[in-house]
Amino acid sequence: MQSIFAENGSETPAPVKAQVKGSIPSWLQGSLVRNGPGLFSVGDSKYNHWFDGMSLIHSFTFSNGEVTYRSKFLKSDTYKRNIKANRIVVSEFGTMIYPDPCKNIFSRLSTHLSNVIPDFTDNNLINIVRYGHDYYASSEINYMNQIDPDTLETVGRINYRNHIALNLATAHPHYDSEGNTYNMGTALMGLGPPKYVIFKVPADASDKENKPALRKVQQICSIPFRSMLFPSYFHSFGMTENYIVFVEQPFKLDIVRLATAYFRGVTWGKCLKFDKDDITLFHVINIKTGKAISTRFYGDTLVVFHHINAYEANDHVVFDLISYKDSNLYNMFYINNMKQETSDFIELNKPFSPPVCQRFALPLNIHKDTPRGTNLVTLTDTTAQAVMQDDGSVYCQPDTLFEGLELPGINYNFNAKKYRYFYGSRLEWSPYPNKIAKFDIVNRKHIEWHQENCYPSEPVFVASPGAVAEDDGVILSSVVSPDPNIPPFMLVLNAKTMEEMARASIPASVHIDLHGLFIPAV
């Protein structure tokens, strides 16, 4: 199993034609561009964590029923420096690198001092994001690398800090129907008071002079940390038509530990701490005014990486997310853990907290004279509760939708709107997805696609032209297998029935990845 997860991938820089079995809809025209870790060692040096691997970008291009594949390593500064030195010289999330002992004392001292406030790697391995008409390989740091989605060439690096005061930003922005991009980031040391920042990049931010779209970035609002030295970690957020939903969770970044990590000999990953005794705060911010709803909404301890969707209904903000009881998920992806035999891995990770899809409902119009202890949720299609407390705060308890699903996807035409279906990777005995599921929120049932010994990537929904029904479209997933008799393939499913319409077998190495974006042909 480990051979497809933690071994070095390889590039396929020239497009290769896939062998299609079945029938790909003729209307499916465009490229699915995906990102993930693909290089885990350089020379004799190896990364410790799967999320450290250097970015390998893939594209699957659909045209007239045919599929072509290509892949290239992101030519980040990190990649270039590592390859030139023939060893890992840039620190990552789970791998801290120290200067060459052969360097002179002044060079070493300079390196040590520059690590007081980390200047993070630009190894952008999580997702492909769009700002204006620009596409970027992105992770959760202040750097992104612009790519050409057609050739997968790396165009150049951009620093958020040249345009907006941020140290960290998510790789999961939202896009509205006009093409504007919304995202969230964290301003830490050296950028004024520490805060969470919500910002917007207009759809028309690109121009013919090739100036970055980020130069037109607009800050919507900022939210102060509830604890100055322990900001919440966040991987994504929710967005409705009028509101941003930010979950300030008890999975936190220890700023003092981060600032001293290099000297203490600990990795950045070890600067995240889970406070099992803390609560979770839910912030609801009006996109147009930048003002937060004054009600203090809170819930029990949880850890969240991915939001599914959010919308407004009858004076409530409803949002669905995937929660965990603790933060052990990251530990499972240390490469030493991943390289164990399957049976040993399952035994070791029995305490693994499974992902649970949960729905929260936050009532917006709360009257001060509401009796304490009252459930304020009046929606009839959810058991989620929001109970008024003696101090005027509102304690929120979720409605559990489904257990054992991650990497959620929806018909993005229904993003920020009331919706019925979501898709995701089924996680049953490990963090390795071995099925794709479609969940129906109304009847609380799911259907699956599965093939023995196959590991599908995050499902991506592409709607049929002019589709009205929410599930009228296809699901795309890149599938890999440790079985040498099963070549990697692009899977095309009917999104309504989850039945296989086609598979396009790739005559090249394909590496398992994280997230991606479908870019329709112009």
How much is the pLDDT for 118? Answer: 52
- Asked if residue 306 belongs to a known ligand binding site, the reply is yes
Work out the average pLDDT over 483-511: 97
Q: What is the pTM of this model?
A: 0.94
Using one digit for the tens of pLDDT, what is the confidence trace for 315-349?
999 999 999 999 888 887 888 877 777 667 666 66
CA distances from 261 to 75, 234, 257, 264, 447 (A): 27, 20, 5, 5, 45
pLDDT in tens, 216-244: 999 999 999 998 889 999 999 999 999 99
User: 492 pairs with which residues across the strands?
Assistant: 476, 502
Residues 6+ apart with CB under 8 A from 435: 425, 426, 428, 448, 449, 450, 456
**Three-point CA angle 238, 244, 246, nearest 5°:** 65
Percent of the chain scored above 70 by pLDDT?
Answer: 92
Answer yes or no: is 515 a known binding residue: yes
Burial letters for 139-151: b for 16+ Cβ neighbours within 10 Å, e otherwise?
A: bbbbbbbbbebee
Model confidence at 402, pLDDT cuts 50, 70, 90, reads very high
235 is in an annotated binding site: yes
Six-digit token string for 268 = 């950045």
pLDDT at 109 over 50: no
The predicted structure's pLDDT at residue 263:
80
Report yes or no: 392 and 296 within 8 Å, Cβ to Cβ.
yes
CB contact at 8 A, 427 and 406: yes
